[in-house]
């Protein structure tokens, strides 16, 4: 242990002891200072400048820094210009795409507009004020003033559907079955597409009111129906049958005559319908009594004037409602069953059906 300690002391003494040497000028300097000066001393260029008595200029360092900054700025500007060109190219591409999209959209909108125009439903015609016989000019309101044939076609279509649907023309439209009326309106729109242009089928309803009112009035005028009262006191129409009865003929002849009378009645029906086919209610003027429907769908009050002449015994007419055996002299006779002389048959009596 003592030996190792001595060795360490000697090493320390050797390291710390200054080493003297003789320089070029003959002076002694320590080796440690010489090594330090050599490590931190100026380089050859500095020594040369120091020998001349000058130092390194400061602007040389500043110029080199400016060059570096300029180079960096140039590189950055070049990169920015390239990026700007790329952005401009992208913007141009986007604008071209937007233009193509707008052109395609415009073409699509144009095609859709044409399709809408082709499939556009006509505007429904609203119902005007009034009704047939009360200020409403049906043909004018149906926009058919200059198209008489189409107007007649509409009338005929509704007439045929009314007869085919077995509607009771002796009643007003409000007394008809709702389901039957709905079916008639739907069939009318199918059979005659022009009738589909009216809001809530008001034109079909007015034609139907007009037709049934005309039919009731014609039947009353020809004595095929009579006006009476039901148990509730409401006015109704009842069918009567007209037969001819000749005095002195036997019963068989009477039966044959009755069959002929039925044929005459059918001919009257046919003649009435043919008259309607010729354009009933197509006047531009107010339709008047021929197309009245009093009380918005109630039966028309077709009262006949009282007969002032006394009928003869053999050729007198008797009117009895269906199912009523009482004659004109019975207690139930109200006097409303009388038929004017102009409507009487040449020979015969009116018998109850």
Q: What are the pLDDT digits (tens) for 110-149? A: 888 887 766 666 788 898 888 887 888 899 999 999 999 9
Q: Give CA–CA dist 342/339, Å, rounded.
A: 8
| H/E element, 71 | helix 58-119
- Burial pattern 129-143, b for ≥16 Cβ within 10 A else e, equals eebbbeebbbbebbe
Confidence grade of residue 52 (pLDDT, cut at 50, 70, 90):
low
Is pLDDT of 75 > 80?
Answer: no
Q: Other C-beta atoms within 10 Å of 51: how many?
A: 8
* Structure tokens belonging to residue 201: 């089928």
The average pLDDT across 75-88 equals 81
| H/E element, 17 | none
pLDDT in the model for residue 17: 46
DSSP label of 175: G
Mean pLDDT of the chain: 65
Name the nearest CA neighbour of 225 among 319, 324, 335: 319
Q: Look-up: residue for tokens 């015609």?
A: 125
The average pLDDT across 17-34 equals 45
Q: What is the largest CA-CA distance in the chain?
A: 195
Is pLDDT of 85 > 80?
Answer: yes
pLDDT in the model for residue 196: 92
Work out the burial of residue 291: count CB atoms within 10 Å of its CB; fewer than 13 is exposed, 13-18 middle, 19 or more buried. buried
Taking each helix axis from N to C terminus, what angle separates 251-277 and 148-164, rounded to the nearest 10 degrees? 140
* Structure tokens belonging to residue 174: 């409000």
Q: Give CA–CA dist 299/251, Å, rounded.
A: 39
CA distances from 207 to 146, 152, 200, 204, 328 (A): 18, 11, 14, 5, 37
Q: Give CA–CA dist 251/10, Å, rounded.
A: 181
Task: Identify the three-state secondary structure at position 334.
Answer: coil
Instruction: At 278, give phi and psi (nearest 5°).
Output: -75, 5
More confident residue, 173 or 46: 173
* Structure tokens belonging to residue 9: 């002391």
* CB of 173 closer than 8 Å to CB of 293: yes
Is pLDDT of 72 > 50?
Answer: yes
The average pLDDT across 23-42 equals 47
The average pLDDT across 250-275 equals 46
End-to-end CA distance of the chain: 164
DSSP label of 130: S
Strand partners, 320: none
Q: Look-up: residue for tokens 């200059």?
A: 146
Please name the residues in contact with 158: beta carbons below 8 A apart, sequence gap of 6 or more.
184, 188, 195, 204, 207, 208, 211
pLDDT in the model for residue 92: 92
pLDDT in the model for residue 245: 59
* CB of 291 closer than 8 Å to CB of 281: yes
Confidence grade of residue 201 (pLDDT, cut at 50, 70, 90):
very high
């Amino acid at each position: 242990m003592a030996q190792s300690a001595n060795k360490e002391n000697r090493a320390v003494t050797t390291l710390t002891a200054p080493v003297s040497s003789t320089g070029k000028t003959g002076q002694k300097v320590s080796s440690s200072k010489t090594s330090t000066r050599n490590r931190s001393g100026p380089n050859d260029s500095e020594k040369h400048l120091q020998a001349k008595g000058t130092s390194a200029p400061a602007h040389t360092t500043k110029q080199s820094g400016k060059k570096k900054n300029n180079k960096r700025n140039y590189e950055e500007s070049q990169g920015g210009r390239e990026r700007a060109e790329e952005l401009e190219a992208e913007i141009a591409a986007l604008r071209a795409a937007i233009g193509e999209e707008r052109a395609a959209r415009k073409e699509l909108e144009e095609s859709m507009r044409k399709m809408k125009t082709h499939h556009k439903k006509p505007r429904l015609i609203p119902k005007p004020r009034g009704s047939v016989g009360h200020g409403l000019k049906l043909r004018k309101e149906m926009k058919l003033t200059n198209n008489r044939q189409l107007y007649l076609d509409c009338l005929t279509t509704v007439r045929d559907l009314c007869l085919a649907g077995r509607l009771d023309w002796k009643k007003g439209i409000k007394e008809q079955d709702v389901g039957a009326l709905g079916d008639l309106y739907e069939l009318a729109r199918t059979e005659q597409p022009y009738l589909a242009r009216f809001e809530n089928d008001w034109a079909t309803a007015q034609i139907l009111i007009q037709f049934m009112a005309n039919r009731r009035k014609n039947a009353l005028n020809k004595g095929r129906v009579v006006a009476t009262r039901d148990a509730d006191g409401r006015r109704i129409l009842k069918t009567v049958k007209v037969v001819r009865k000749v005095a002195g003929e036997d019963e068989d002849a009477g039966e044959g005559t009755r069959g002929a009378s039925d044929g005459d009645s059918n001919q009257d029906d046919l003649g009435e319908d043919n008259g309607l086919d010729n354009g009933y209610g197509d006047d531009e003027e107010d339709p008047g009594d021929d197309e009245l429907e009093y009380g918005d769908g109630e039966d028309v009050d077709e009262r006949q004037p009282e007969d002032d002449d006394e009928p003869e015994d053999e050729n007198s007419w008797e009117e009895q409602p269906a199912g009523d055996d009482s004659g004109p002299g019975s207690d139930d006779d109200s006097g409303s069953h009388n038929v004017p002389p102009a409507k009487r048959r040449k020979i015969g009596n009116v018998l109850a059906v």
